[in-house]
Structure 1
Amino acid sequence: MPPSSASAAFRSTIIEVARDAGVSKTSVSRYLGGERHRLSPDMQARIATAIQRLGYRPNQMARGLKGGRSKLIGMLVADIRNPFSVDVLHGVEQACRARGFSLLVCNTDNDPAQERDHLALLASYRVEGIVINAAGRPSAELKALAAQGTPIVLLDRSLGDVDADVVGLDNASAIDLAIEHLVEQGYRHMLFVSEPPQGASSRQLRLDRFHQRLAQMPELTGDATCLPMQRDAAELRQRLGSFLAGEAQAPRAILCANGNVTLQVALALNALHARLGETGLLGIDELDWCALAGPGITTLAQPTEAIGRATVESLMQRLEPMGRQAPPRRTEYAARLIARGSTQR
């Protein structure tokens, strides 16, 4: 009686597959290594049947060490709890699977030291490419990997001294879209709330664009505030309370730099008994709960699935001989406004 695939997957070897199919080990290796054209149709069928019967799974690491191809893509995520990271990760994984690659994911937890350690780990696994949502400035490590021929794609956050493809949101147009919507709804005094911009280029770009647009629109007034890394709910309530109680009589709105900030601000406004709509609230990133909170929170949705797939497409192009020589590319996607009651006065 043949063993079940669940148990056989842990003990079946290429030798056992060869014995079961009545072929040589070399023939099985050719079948698994993309040289099936060198085998007769009958031999291919027997090997395929043996693999299925025994539940054999090839050791991708061993194959990579032997043939120079690991079929592994590494991905470093700054904060895997961030909904944006989760959604993009899904797109990356789907695209890798469609290409016959497996994905190794490392969460750096916004710790530059962990980031460097994870990069060294991925290098030891001989990954064929790396997608990185940078938490620090791992420029030296990334340059070393690039010098070894490992393609790198920067996700959402660029590094000024690393020549690599970048895929993410068109941050300037996203801020433009947000401000234009708030102005159309009658808001004239705005507060931009962000996590520390030094930790991510995308945050800095959004903050800079906010200040630029306010300088270009004299009918608007506004300010920006940054949440500390160790979030303090009481401090945020105090900052928002001061904003709501300020001297300016113009209708007020709060623009949140990402989904994490939107959640913190929504909780603080609820604690302050602020009415959404009377106080405008708009957040970058569409989250499931945004449609359910109060009258619904207006958001700018990022095409996370498309962004994730685009990062893998960039890596695949870089794995081609011609792609390695092409200059770095920047691929930016437009946000989509989802208007809800939080910006209806």
Structure 2
Amino acid sequence: MKQPTIADVAKIAGVSKTTMSRFLNQDYDHMSQKTKEKITQVVKELNYHPNRHAQSLKSKVTREIGVQIADISNTYASELLKGIGNILRDNNYQMLITDSANSLELERQQLESLIRQQVDGIILQPVSRNASDYQFIKDANIPLVLVDRQVNQLLWPTVTSDNYKITKELGRLMVERKYQRVITITNPVHETSTRELRYQAIKEVSSANQLIDELVELTPNLDLKDYLRNSLATSKLKTVLFTTNSMVLSQVLATLMELKIKFPQDIGICSYDGWNWTQLIGNGITTIDQDPIKIGSTSAQIIIDALNDPDSYPDLKKHIITAHLITKDSL
């Protein structure tokens, strides 16, 4: 016979899953004695035993969710936090926000601090690609949701933008516009799954359509100005620049302006993740518009559902949020 779930017990007891979760957490502050006795009776009748995660929940919830951001200076982060905050606020939870500045060591310290503060759950934009670097959160039996970036094993619910499919669509637009060479400019690709998927899409479209594909990774040793000047001066091919996020795009635009290179007259340009300001440059820049607010709200709802119904966690899914291609005159 199938073991009853928290939802089954809540339904028979005539209470919500939130009330049932509070009962399991021994949070009786706003629970009548009658409700408490009714749930106790149903639990006994059904011989209900919470799963290992539910059993390990601490006796007193803090109603605080830790949110670990990889780089809070990025515009993406503020939109992500807005989406998370909207859902947590509606459910009477607060955020504890930390910024790892893309440092794995700092990230570990901050996550351990959140665990010591007994947060009820963690939403993480991971710095590392290795799932093993986050095993300690799993060992602490704290619900975890990954946002924006993936790790190499699907051990936790993960919410990301559509990085691969929509970038392929942009690649096909380059082909339609008769470009012969595409230069992808990005921070080091191997560091995050988002960059890797975006570049993979461009590389595959280039290979399938005989476009020359060049990868330029921004490192301290690279002089972007010299690279673009020399690269464009030595090639007669119709060329398009693709940047993997808006921060790289702003750097590239500043360099093109300094070199007096015009788009789309001298070169095409497009980007993943451009924000509203890109539509104010010339006649606008072709960008992929992702939805970090929805990514944030989706991740927060997963955490809330896990806390209300521990039997449902972890639901090991990749939740891919749709992104949209905004076509302008820069291509």
- The two structures share one fold, judged by TM-score above 0.5: yes
- Which residue in 1 is equivalent to 2:118? 126
Q: Which of the residues 187, 194, 218 maps onto 1:202?
A: 194
**Does 2:322 align with 1:321?**
no
What SS does the corresponding residue of 2:216 show, helix, strand or coil?
Answer: strand
Residue 223 (str. 1) matches residue 214 (str. 2): yes
Q: AA paired with 1:310?
A: T
Q: What's the TM-score once normalised by structure 1's chain length? A: 0.76
2:263 aligned residue: 276
Q: How well do the aligned residues superpose, as a CA RMSD in angstroms? A: 2.4
Query: What's the secondary structure of 2:97's corresponding residue?
Result: strand
**Counterpart of 1:262?**
249
> What residue is the counterpart of 1:10 in the other structure?
none
CA distance in structure 2 between the aligned counterparts of 1:134 and 1:268, rounded to whole angstroms: 30
Within 1, Cα distance between the matches of 2:190 and 2:67?
22
Q: Name the CA distance, whole Å, in 1 between partners of 2:83 and 2:93.
A: 13
2:169 maps to what in 1?
Answer: 177
Deviations 1:13-38, CA, capped at 9 Å, x for gaps: xxxxxxxxxxxxxxxxx999322687
Distance in 1 separating the partners of 2:107 and 2:130? 7
Equivalent residue for 1:57?
none
The answer to whether the 8 A contact 1:115-1:138 is kept is no
Corresponding position: 1:35 with 2:22: no
SS at match of 1:342: coil
CA separation of 1:187 and 1:137: change in aligned 2, threshold 3 A = closer
Percent of residue pairs identical: 24
Secondary structure (helix, strand or coil) at the match of 1:171 reads: coil
Taking the aligned partners of 1:231 and 1:77, their CA distance within structure 2 comes to 27
Larger Rg: 1
Match of 2:52 in 1: none
Q: Which amino acid aligns with 2:262?
A: R
Contact 1:108–1:118 (CA under 8 A) maintained in structure 2 = yes
Deviation at residue 155 of structure 1 after TM alignment: 0.9
Identify the range of structure 1 (87-96 vs 202-211) with the bigger mean alpha-carbon deviation.
Answer: 202-211
Aligned equivalent of 1:335: 323
Residues 33/184 of structure 1: CA separation in 2 closer, same or farther (3 Å cut):
farther
Letter in 1 for 2:232: L
User: Which of 237, 242, 248 does residue 225 from structure 2 map onto?
Assistant: 237
The change in CA–CA distance for 1:96 and 1:323 in structure 2 (over 3 A counts) is: same
Higher relative contact order (CA 8 A, sep 6+): 2
Aligned partner letter, 2:214: D
2:128/2:151 contact within 8 Å kept: no
136-145 or 125-134, larger mean C-alpha shift: 136-145
1:5-57 superposed Cα distances (whole Å, 9 cap, x missing partner): xxxxxxxxxxxxxxxxxxxxxxxxx999322687xxxxxxxxxxxxxxxxxxx
* Aligned counterpart, 2:22: none
Structure 1 residues 259, 36: closer, same or farther in 2, change over 3 A?
A: farther
| In structure 1, C-alpha distance between the alignment counterparts of 2:310 and 2:28, rounded to whole Å | 24
The 1:325/1:175 distance shift into structure 2, 3 A limit, reads closer
CA contact (8 A) 1:116 1:138 kept: no
Q: Find the partner of 1:294 among 282, 286, 289.
A: 282
- Amino acid in structure 2 at the alignment position of 1:85: A
TM-score, with structure 2 as normaliser: 0.79
Alpha-carbon distance in structure 2 between the residues aligned to 1:97 and 1:270: 43
Residue pair 1:258, 1:284 contacting (<8 A) in 2 also: yes
Deviation string for 1:85-106 (max 9, x for gaps)?
1211111111111121101110
User: Unmatched 5+ residue regions in structure 1?
Assistant: 1-29, 39-64
Aligned with residue 93 of structure 1, among 73, 85, 99: 85
Post-superposition CA distance 1:62-113 (Å, at most 9, x none): xxx9942111111111110111112111111111111211011100011111
Q: Give the conservation status (yes or no) of the 8 Å contact 2:129–2:192.
A: no
Following TM superposition, by how much is the alpha carbon of 1:236 offset from its aligned partner in structure 2, in angstroms?
Answer: 0.8
Please state how far the C-alpha of 1:322 moved relative to its aligned partner: 2.6
Q: C-alpha distance in 1, partners of 2:161/2:58? A: 39
1:20 match: none
1:339 Cα deviation from its structure 2 partner: 1.8
1:304 maps to which residue? 292
Asked whether the 8 Å contact 1:142–1:162 carries over to 2, the reply is no
